[in-house]
C-alpha cells in the first residue's frame, strides 16, 4: 500500500515504483519475456523521470527558449538558445537510449514499454516529450518512406545514443490561413534543372523549430491548388550540404500559455533546400509507373502517419499530466490539515481523489490498448482487426486523455486550494501545459470527425465493436451487472452509429462529438472490465473490478438520484484500496 504521508513531494520519487497501476498495465500488455526485460529499465527510467528530469522541468519552465536574431556583428543568425536545464534533460534522454532503443539493447523494444517510458516522461514535462516524440516520428517516416540516401544520411542523426552525434526532428504543418485545414497550404516547391528542390513560403505553428531535420508539406509548381491532393512531403535539413545555414528564417517565438520548454515559432522558407520524400497524390496517379516519384501514397498521407503516431504521444501527454496531478493531490491531501484532520480524512475529499484515480485508470486503459496491437503488427503476428483497432482507438484515446489531463489538473489544483494557484507550487504549470493537448494534433472536433471518417472509410467500426463484445464475453462473473449494462450500451451505440452513417455529411458531422465521447466511455469501461478480470484471475485482487464498477456507475448508469441516496459508499469505505492501492479481497 502506498503511504502518501511519507512523501514530502512527488519530485524525487521513483514514479514507476510508486505506480502499481502502471506495473499492472505492463503485466497485462507485455509478454513474459518482454516483461522480464522491461522491469529494470522501467525502474531506472522511473527514477530519472521523477528525479532529475522533474527537478529541471520547473527551472526550464521559468527560463524558456529565446531567439537570438542577430550576432554581435549584426548578421542574422536566428539561433534558439535553450536553458542548460533543458539541454541536460535532452542529453539524459539521448544517452539513456530514448532514440536508439533497439540498437542499444540489441533487441526489439515492445510498444507497451515505449509507451510507459513516454508516460513517465510526460509526468515531468510534456513539452520535452513533444520534442522527443517529433524526433522519433520523423525517423519513422524517413525509415518507411524515404530514399536509401535519406535513410543513410538522417537516421543515424535522429536515432543516436550519443549527445554529440544527436539531431532532433520536427514537422511543420500549419500556415497562417489554415490550421487543421491543410488544403490552402501555399508553400511552393520548385524543382531546378539539376533536380534539386527549393521551398518558399510561411509556416505558422512550428514546434521544435530548431530541429536538425524538418518534415513539411509544400505544393510543387503546377500541382492542383486548394486541395491536399496537390501536396508533397519534403525533408528540410537545418543546414545545407556545404554546412551553411539553410533558408529557414525564424520570425519570432510564440509567447505560449504553457509547454514553454519546446520552442514554437513562425517561420519563412526562403529559397530553402529541400528533398522530396513523397510526391503529391495527383502526381503519383499520373506517373505511377515512375519509381523515382511513386514512393508512397502522397505527401499528406505520409505526413498523417506521423500525425497519428503523434496523436498517441499527445494522449500520453494528457495521461501523464493526469497521473502527476493525482499523485501531487494525494500527497498534499495526506499532509494538509483542515479543521484538525488531514484533508484525506474528509468524505468529500475522498470522493475527489477516488474520482481522479478512476478517471486516470480509465484513460490509461484506452491509451495503452493500442500498444499491444501495434506490437503484434510489428512482429507480424497481428490478430484480425488489429490495424483497424489502432486506427480508431488512436483518436479516441487522444480525445479522452487530453481532456482528462485538463480536468484532473483542475481538480488537483483545487485540492491545493489557493496554493495551487501559485506558480511555486506544482499544479499551475500542469494546468497550463494540459490546455495545449486538446489542441495539438487536432482539436476535439477534428479528432471526433476523424473517428467518423475511420468508420466511413474502413472496417474499424466493425473491428471495434467485435473486440468489445469479445472482451465482455470473457469478463469476470463478479462484474456481471456491469457486463450486461455494457452489452446493452454496445447494441445502442451500434444502432446509433449505423443511423449516423446513413445521414448526409452535414447532419452526421453534427453528431460526431457526442458519438466519439460515447464510444470512448464504452471502450474505457470495457477495457477496465478486461483488466479487472486479469487481476482477479492472477492475483485474486478485486481492486481493479471496483474501479471498473465505479466508472460504469459514473458514466454509463447516470441515475443521479441513485448516486446521491444509494447505499454505495465505496469512495469512503474502500479508500485505501482505491487511492493507496491496498489489495481488495472481495468486490463489495
Question: 302 pLDDT band (50/70/90 cuts)?
Answer: low
The pLDDT assigned to 480 comes to 96
Nearest CA-CA partner of 97 in 1, 26, 163, 150 = 163
Q: What is the model's pLDDT at position 284?
A: 44
Least confident stretch, 400-409, 438-447, 518-527, 558-567: 558-567
User: Given pLDDT bands bounded at 50, 70 and 90, which one contains residue 297?
Assistant: very low
* pLDDT tens digits, 65-106: 999 998 889 888 889 999 999 999 999 999 998 888 788 888
> For residue 203, is pLDDT > 70?
yes
Element (H, E) at 429: helix 427-437
Model confidence band, residue 227 (pLDDT cutoffs 50, 70, 90): confident
Q: What was the pLDDT predicted at 290? A: 39
Which pTM does this prediction carry?
Answer: 0.93
CA atoms of 96 and 104, how far apart (whole Å): 9
pLDDT tens digits along 1-52: 999 999 999 999 999 999 999 999 999 999 999 999 999 999 999 999 999 9
- Pair 511, 518: CB distance under 8 Å: no
- Please report the pLDDT score of residue 352 as a whole number: 97
The mean predicted confidence, pLDDT, of the chain is 91
Which residues, other chains included, contact 29 with Cβ-Cβ below 8 Å and sequence gap of 6+?
Answer: 112, 368, 371, 372, 375
Query: How big is the CA angle at 95 (ends 89 and 99), to the nearest 5 degrees?
Result: 95
Residue 90 within any structural domain of the chain: no
From 297, 316, 335, the end of a domain falls on 297
Q: What is the pLDDT of residue 280?
A: 81
pLDDT grade for 293, boundaries at 50, 70 and 90? very low
The pLDDT assigned to 264 comes to 96
Model pLDDT, residue 295: 38
The string of DSSP codes covering 441-510 is TS-HHHHHHHHHHHHHHSSHHHHHHHHHHHHHHTS-GGGHHHHHHHHHHHHHHHHHHHHHHTS-HHHHHH
Q: Among 250-259, 263-272, 295-304, which stretch is predicted with the lowest mean pLDDT? A: 295-304
| Cell, residue 409 | 489538473
> What's the pLDDT at 282?
58
How far out from the chain centre does Cα 12 lie? Answer: 24
For 191, counting Cβ atoms within 10 Å of its Cβ (0-12 exposed, 13-18 middle, 19+ buried), the class is middle
Mean pLDDT confidence for 561-573: 82
Whole-number pLDDT of residue 287: 41
Tell me, what's the pLDDT at 75? 85
Of 297, 315, 349, the domain-final residue: 297
Parent domain of 500 = 459-580
Q: 285 pLDDT exceeds 50?
A: no
Q: With contact defined as beta carbons under 8 Å apart, do 447 and 271 qualify?
A: no
Computed over its alpha carbons, how large is the radius of gyration of the chain? 24
- At residue 300 the predicted structure's pLDDT band, cuts being 50, 70 and 90, is low
For residue 471, is pLDDT > 80?
A: yes
Answer with the residue of higher pLDDT: 334 or 230.
334
Is residue 89 a part of any domain in this protein?
A: no
Per-residue buried b or exposed e for 155-181, using 16+ beta carbons within 10 Å of the residue's own CB: bebbbbbeeeebbbbbbbbbbeeeeee
Tell whether 327 is covered by a domain: no
Weakest mean pLDDT among 245-254, 300-309, 543-552? 300-309
The model's pLDDT over 315-374, given as tens digits with 9 standing for 90+, comes to 999 999 999 999 999 999 999 999 999 999 999 999 999 999 999 999 999 999 999 888
Three-class secondary structure of residue 66 per DSSP: strand
Would you say residue 116 has pLDDT above 90? yes
pLDDT at res. 283? 55
Q: Is residue 479 situated within a structural domain? A: yes
Least confident of 299-313, 415-429, 440-454, 559-573: 299-313
Confidence of residue 228 (pLDDT cuts 50, 70, 90): confident
Decide if 430 is inside a domain: no
Residue 557, pLDDT > 50, answer: yes
Which CATH number covers residue 283?
2.40.110.20
Domain assignment of residue 555, yes or no? yes
Residue 308: band (very low, low, confident or very high) from pLDDT cuts 50, 70, 90:
confident
Is residue 107 very low, low, confident or very high in pLDDT (cuts 50, 70, 90)?
confident
Q: What are phi and psi of 232, to 5 degrees?
A: -105, 160
Domain boundary (297, 328, 352) is at 297
Bigger pLDDT: 577 vs 278: 577
What would the mean pLDDT of 228-246 be, rounded to a whole number? 92
Residue 27 lies in a domain: no
Of 25-34, 52-61, 222-231, the one with minimum mean pLDDT is: 222-231
Is 353 a member of any domain? no
- The string of DSSP letters for 532-565 reads HHHHHHHH---HHHHHHHHHHHHHT---HHHHHH
The domain total for the chain is 2
The predicted pLDDT at position 536 comes to 97
Mean pLDDT over 496-503 rounds to 95
Amino acid at each position: 500500500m502506498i503511504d502518501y504521508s511519507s512523501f514530502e513531494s512527488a519530485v524525487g520519487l521513483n514514479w514507476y515504483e510508486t505506480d502499481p497501476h502502471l506495473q499492472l498495465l505492463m503485466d497485462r500488455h507485455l509478454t513474459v519475456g518482454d516483461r522480464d526485460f522491461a522491469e529494470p529499465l522501467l525502474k531506472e527510467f522511473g527514477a530519472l523521470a521523477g528525479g532529475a528530469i522533474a527537478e529541471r522541468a520547473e527551472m526550464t519552465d521559468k527560463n524558456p527558449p529565446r531567439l537570438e536574431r542577430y550576432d554581435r556583428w549584426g548578421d542574422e543568425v536566428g539561433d534558439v538558445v535553450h536553458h542548460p536545464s533543458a539541454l541536460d534533460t535532452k542529453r539524459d534522454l539521448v544517452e539513456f537510449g530514448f532514440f536508439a532503443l533497439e540498437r542499444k539493447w540489441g533487441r526489439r523494444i515492445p510498444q507497451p514499454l515505449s509507451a510507459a517510458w513516454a508516460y513517465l516522461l510526460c509526468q515531468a514535462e510534456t513539452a520535452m516529450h513533444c520534442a522527443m516524440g517529433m524526433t522519433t516520428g520523423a525517423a519513422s517516416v524517413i525509415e518507411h518512406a524515404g530514399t536509401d540516401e535519406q535513410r543513410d544520411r538522417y537516421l543515424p542523426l535522429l536515432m543516436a545514443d550519443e549527445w554529440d552525434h544527436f539531431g532532433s526532428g520536427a514537422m511543420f504543418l500549419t500556415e497562417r490561413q489554415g490550421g487543421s485545414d491543410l488544403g490552402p497550404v501555399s508553400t511552393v516547391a520548385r524543382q531546378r534543372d539539376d533536380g534539386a528542390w527549393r521551398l518558399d513560403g510561411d509556416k505558422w505553428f512550428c514546434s521544435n523549430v530548431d530541429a536538425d531535420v524538418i518534415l513539411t508539406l509544400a505544393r510543387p509548381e503546377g500541382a492542383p491548388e486548394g486541395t491536399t491532393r496537390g501536396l508533397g512531403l519534403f525533408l528540410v535539413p537545418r543546414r545545407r550540404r556545404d554546412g551553411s545555414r539553410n533558408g529557414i528564417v525564424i520570425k519570432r517565438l510564440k509567447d505560449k500559455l504553457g509547454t514553454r520548454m519546446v520552442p514554437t515559432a513562425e517561420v519563412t522558407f526562403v529559397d530553402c533546400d529541400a528533398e522530396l520524400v513523397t510526391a503529391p497524390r495527383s502526381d503519383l496517379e499520373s506517373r505511377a509507373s515512375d519509381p523515382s516519384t511513386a514512393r508512397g501514397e502522397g505527401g499528406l498521407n505520409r505526413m498523417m502517419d506521423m500525425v497519428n503516431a503523434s496523436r498517441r504521444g499527445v494522449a500520453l501527454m494528457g495521461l501523464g499530466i493526469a497521473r502527476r496531478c493525482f499523485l501531487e493531490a494525494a500527497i498534499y491531501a495526506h499532509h494538509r490539515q483542515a479543521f484538525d484532520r488531514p484533508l484525506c480524512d474528509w468524505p468529500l475529499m475522498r470522493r475527489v481523489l477516488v474520482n481522479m484515480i478512476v478517471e486516470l485508470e480509465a484513460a490509461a486503459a484506452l491509451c495503452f490498448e493500442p500498444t499491444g496491437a501495434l506490437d503484434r503488427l510489428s512482429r507480424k503476428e497481428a490478430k484480425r482487426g488489429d490495424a483497424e483497432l489502432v486506427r480508431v482507438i488512436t483518436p479516441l484515446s487522444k480525445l479522452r486523455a487530453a481532456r482528462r489531463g485538463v480536468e484532473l489538473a483542475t481538480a488537483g489544483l483545487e485540492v491545493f486550494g489557493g496554493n495551487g494557484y501559485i506558480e511555486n507550487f506544482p499544479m499551475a504549470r500542469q494546468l497550463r501545459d494540459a490546455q495545449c493537448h486538446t489542441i495539438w494534433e487536432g482539436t476535439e472536433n477534428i479528432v471526433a470527425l476523424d473517428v467518423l471518417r475511420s468508420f466511413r472509410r474502413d472496417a474499424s467500426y466493425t473491428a471495434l465493436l467485435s473486440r468489445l463484445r469479445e472482451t465482455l464475453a470473457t469478463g469476470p462473473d463478479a462484474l456481471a451487472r456491469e457486463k450486461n449494462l455494457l452489452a446493452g450500451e454496445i447494441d445502442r451505440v451500434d444502432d446509433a452509429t449505423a443511423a449516423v452513417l446513413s445521414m448526409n455529411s452535414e447532419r452526421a458531422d453534427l453528431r460526431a462529438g457526442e458519438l466519439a465521447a460515447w464510444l470512448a466511455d464504452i471502450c474505457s469501461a470495457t477495457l477496465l472490465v478486461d483488466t479487472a478480470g486479469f487481476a482477479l484471475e492472477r492475483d485474486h485482487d478485486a481492486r481493479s473490478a471496483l474501479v471498473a464498477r465505479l466508472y460504469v456507475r459514473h458514466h454509463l448508469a447516470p441515475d443521479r438520484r441513485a448516486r446521491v441516496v444509494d447505499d454505495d459508499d465505496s469512495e469512503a469505505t474502500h479508500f485505501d484500496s482505491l487511492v493507496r492501492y491496498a489489495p481488495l479481497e472481495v468486490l463489495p
